Structure formats: structure tokens, C-alpha cells
Amino acid sequence: MTFYLFEINIILYETTLMFKAKYSGINYFGRIYDIKEELKKKFHKEVDIADKNALNKIGKKYILPGGVKYV
């Protein structure tokens, strides 16, 4: 079986207190963007990062129940 990975999707479940303290406010979003770009370069794939709390009802209904792998 061949598996092709076209993109990487990451859901942030809990941001650690240390991360929040270091990257507060607008710096939080800047750091998330930097992480996204670093992963994109490393894996040569499109990367999406979303906060679980920012998902709407549809996202929570269809993405979270079966489509998330915890690592």
C-alpha cells in the first residue's frame, strides 16, 4: 500500500503555559507562523496549524472525532 501525504494538518490542543508566557499576544501568532514555515521547509509539504478552540461547530464535529492522531 502506498501512502501519499499531500499536506500536514496540526491541531493545537493545549499550548503550554511556558509557550504562552514566552509568546504572548501577537507574538503567539508570529511564532506559530514561524513553526509552520519551518515544518514546510523540512517536509516540503503544505502545513496548516489551527487551535482547537478556534474551530467552529462544523470543524469540531467532523475533524476532531476521528480525524486526529495524538502524538
pLDDT tens-digit profile of 35-71?
A: 999 999 998 888 988 877 777 787 777 776 766 665 5
Distance CA 34, CA 53 (A): 20
Is there a domain that residue 70 lies in?
no
Is there a domain that residue 67 lies in?
no
For the chain, what is the domain count? 1
Is there a domain that residue 71 lies in?
no
Alpha helices (H) along 1-71: 17-22, 26-43, 57-62
Is there a domain that residue 25 lies in?
yes
Look at the pTM and tell me if it is higher than 0.75.
no
Question: Please, which pLDDT band fits residue 9 given cuts at 50, 70 and 90?
Answer: confident
Higher-pLDDT residue of 25, 41: 41
Instruction: Tell me which residue range forms the domain holding 53.
Output: 7-62
Place of cell 467532523: 62
Is there a domain that residue 20 lies in?
yes
Is there a domain that residue 1 lies in?
no
Distance CA 58, CA 67 (A): 13
> Quick one: CA torsion of 18, 31, 33, 26, rounded to 10 degrees?
100
